[in-house]
Chain A
Amino acid sequence: MKISTKLTVFYIAVIAVFVLLAASLMSQTVAMADGYEHLLAAPLHDMDAARVVQVDFKKQVQEWKDILLRGHAPDDLARYTKQFHEREAIVSASAKALAEHVDDSAVKATLDEFVAAHRALSAKYKEAYDVYLNGGFDFKAADKVVRGQDRQPTDLFDRAVMQLDDRVRVSVESQTVAIAAGRTRALGLAGGLLLLLGIGGLVIVRGILGRLGKLKAIADRLAVADIAGLVIDISGRDEIGAFGSSMKGVHAALEELLSVANSPTKVS
Chain B
Amino acid sequence: MGAKLLAFYDQASKEFSAVGRMKLAMLTLISSVKAGDAPDSPENIKKFEAALDKLRHGPK
Contact = CB atoms under 8 A, between A and B. Distances in A.
Interface of A: 245, 248-253, 255-257, 259-260, 266-268
Contacts of B44: none
Interface of B: 13, 17-18, 21-34
A257 B29 contact: no
A245 B18 contact: no
Contacts of B27: 249
B17 A250 contact: no
Given A250-B26, A252-B26, A267 B31 contact: no
Contact of A255 (B13, B17, B23, B33): B33
A259 B33 contact: yes
Contact of A253 (B13, B17, B22): B22
B29 A249 contact: yes
Q: Is the interface of B mostly helix, strand, loop or mixed?
A: helix
B23 A259 contact: no
Give the one of B13, B25, B27, B32 with max A CB within 10 A: B25
Nearest to A253: B26
A248 B21 contact: no
B29 to A, nearest CB: 4
B18 A253 contact: no
Contacts of A249: 25-27, 29
Nearest to B31: A255
19 contacts: A251-B29, A252-B28, A252-B29, A252-B34, A253-B22, A253-B23, A253-B25, A253-B26, A255-B31, A256-B22, A256-B25, A256-B32, A256-B33, A259-B31, A259-B33, A260-B21, A266-B18, A267-B18, A268-B18
Contacts of A252: 25-26, 28-31, 34
Contacts of B33: 255-256, 259
B59 to A, nearest CB: 13
